[in-house]
Structure 1
Amino acid sequence: MITALLALDIGGSTSRATLVDMAGNCLGQGKSRGGNPGSNPPDQAAAAIIAAAEAAVADAGVPLNIVVALLAMAGPNVNAARTRIEAAFRALGLSGPLVFSGDLNALLPSVTAATSGYCVVCGTGAGAVRVRDGEIERVADAAGWLLGDLGSGYWLGHQAAIAITAALEGRGPETALTKAILGALDIPLTGERAFDGRPLPLRLLIDAIYAMPPIELAKFAPLVIANRDDAVAAGLLAQSERYLLADFQQVFNPGMPGPVVLAGGIAAHLTGLPAAIAQVMRTAGHEPDIRLSGDGSVGAAVLALRHQGVTVDEAMLIAIAASVKARAAKAITPA
């Protein structure tokens, strides 16, 4: 029986499980839908987490003694589903503890062996953290879509929907986002009126938006990015950058130079953000070290190894990342 560590990177839209041995070699991987209990119903979130773990164990294909299961999870604590998750993991071979960690903890170790630095994340959610000696010391935002996540993918999608509502009513500027988002929802842009006197496209938009879980508004964020030459879209992206810069400034300690990791699917498209962060660091007398995050699965695996007392240096981190990447490539290679 092989000794293994189960590491889960759990976000609002995707949950990924990775099994590694004590040397960081990837033994199996699994993927499911989002398991963030703040943006998914608790039972659905738990089911997604369990499904990802089951897929990883099936991918490993050998009996395992799982000595720890570490969940790097977005959203509020999933205590309500902890018993269900633990029971499922025990059935998969978990003999050790079930450990919960914030998903932001996995960002720094996804790309560097440094245990102190900063993470600025803009994906479905958004915020910034200062990490010292492997522990989060300060947080700005990252409070979820109901309480914050300003500048996030959800925020961009929500604001885009608000903007096209105003445009369709004639109380806001015209925008290319109207055609883009209505097209994504299969709503024709016509001049007809609905039963309530509204433009028919607006009536159908309202119905479509209220029929979806709120967090799914994040799916409009790529349309904002794709239409960044539009004045309304450009304004939303600029505001997103301002929010994320403010988050970084709130957690930045002039006595701690970095590195700074930018993470999340939106962060790479906030093209002015790295330069703005670099200016803050230069003003404090530091040479900026700003990096795009690596695979969150790698960061979660590093956290699981550290929990077991393993010191992960740069060479080992590179090896873990290569092993995870190779396993993923093998999984998608046609037979």
Structure 2
Amino acid sequence: MVLILGVDAGGTASKAVVVSPDGTVLGRGTAGPGNPSAVGSVAAVAIGAAVRGALGPHDPGGVVAGVVGVAGVSILTDPGVATAFADQWTDIGLTCPVAVLGDAVTAFASGTGATAGAVLIAGTGAVAALVDGERIVRTADGLGWLLGDEGSGLWLGLQAVRHAARHWSSSGLAVRVALHAGAASADDLVHWAQRLPLGSFAALAPVVCEFAAAGDPAAIAIVGEAVERLIATLDALDAPDAAVVLAGGLLTAATPVRAGVLEALRVRGVAVGTAHDPALGAARLALQGWSSRTTTSR
């Protein structure tokens, strides 16, 4: 049986899908974080686990093409990380070409049939990219928590904790953050935050969105600033006429962040699509590449 593989690997999870040449989904798999910039070569192990889950009982030798969309793809120039990925393909039993692309490319492919445009991603991290086919022409942000990722889930969580530390028990959001942290004082919260693995701050993003939707002034302010920063990131691409695909959990689910971004783009008259299934978008790119090679070889 001929199989096509698609993978979406981000800072929170790795998701894989296996499809037939007619696009029928034959299997799905999910595993842990697959961003090599954040977790190094361990990302390859998580991606491999997702691929194995998607393959299930199917013969890995039947996979004729694969595309993996990876957050932090630039780190694959590191020999150790590149080797870890190659070893995974071998261990799984894949013998076909597996293209590793930026997750912006696969997210864009899952939200539109167009071959070029812009994609704005806000999940654990945040980045905007101008895409042309399988090529990323230009990016903005995507700089990680220390230097950027403004408006992301991690950014929202950090702002919520900072608000609670500065305005202890003065708002509903601050009280909820303290409860989340199990902190009895602002000092407790500071100590908790300093011990917390960085990515864990993103767990507070749904709390911020929930409180903003309920009218909490502090949460509304944080969400409003997130929207402004995401739009500024998109503007940094300097492609005002490009259609935009929204991707990542904050911009594909019904969140106040998505609502704010959609409104800002509506005012500008920008065409907007939504990335529904980046792993499937990756599979579609793999299928297109395979079909093209097959046609050319005839």
TM-score, normalised to structure 1's length? 0.78
Give the corresponding residue for 2:45.
47
Given that 2:14 and 2:30 are in contact with CA atoms closer than 8 Å, whether structure 1 keeps it comes out as yes
How much does 1:295 deviate?
A: 1.0
1:242-294, Cα deviation, whole Å (9 max, x unpaired) = 1111122222534x442x211121124222211212333x3xxxxx3212221
How much does 1:23 deviate?
A: 2.7
How much does 1:155 deviate?
A: 0.6
Give the corresponding residue for 2:120.
120
- Within 5 Å, give how 1:1-335 maps onto structure 2: 2-40=1-39, 42-58=40-56, 60-62=57-59, 64-75=61-72, 76-78=74-76, 79=78, 80-168=80-168, 174-187=170-183, 189=184, 201-228=185-212, 229-254=215-240, 256-258=241-243, 260-267=244-251, 268-269=254-255, 270=257, 271-280=259-268, 282=269, 288-310=270-292
What runs of 5+ residues in structure 2 fail to find an aligned partner?
294-298
Given that 1:68 and 1:94 are in contact with CA atoms closer than 8 Å, whether structure 2 keeps it comes out as no
Whose helix proportion is higher, 1 or 2? 2
1:214-253, Cα deviation, whole Å (9 max, x unpaired) = 1211111111111112222111111111111112222253
Structure 1 segments (4+ residues) deviating >6 Å? none
1:110-149, Cα deviation, whole Å (9 max, x unpaired) = 1221111221111111122222344322211122222211
CA distance in structure 2 between the partners assigned to 1:90 and 1:44 by the alignment: 16
Given that 1:129 and 1:137 are in contact with CA atoms closer than 8 Å, whether structure 2 keeps it comes out as yes
Given that 1:151 and 1:239 are in contact with CA atoms closer than 8 Å, whether structure 2 keeps it comes out as yes
Secondary structure, counterpart of 2:147 in structure 1:
coil
For 2:237, give the aligned amino acid. Answer: V
CA distance in structure 2 between the partners assigned to 1:108 and 1:252 by the alignment: 18
How much does 1:309 deviate?
A: 4.1
Kindly, what percent of the aligned residue pairs are identical?
31
CA distance in structure 1 between the partners assigned to 2:60 and 2:37 by the alignment: 33
CA distance in structure 1 between the partners assigned to 2:60 and 2:261 by the alignment: 46
CA distance in structure 2 between the partners assigned to 1:99 and 1:231 by the alignment: 46
CA distance in structure 1 between the partners assigned to 2:178 and 2:234 by the alignment: 34
CA distance in structure 2 between the partners assigned to 1:144 and 1:217 by the alignment: 13
Given that 1:19 and 1:27 are in contact with CA atoms closer than 8 Å, whether structure 2 keeps it comes out as yes
Q: 1:148 to 1:84 in 2, by over 3 A?
A: same
Larger radius of gyration: 1
Q: 1:44 to 1:211 in 2, by over 3 A?
A: farther
CA distance in structure 1 between the partners assigned to 2:223 and 2:17 by the alignment: 33
Given that 1:116 and 1:134 are in contact with CA atoms closer than 8 Å, whether structure 2 keeps it comes out as no
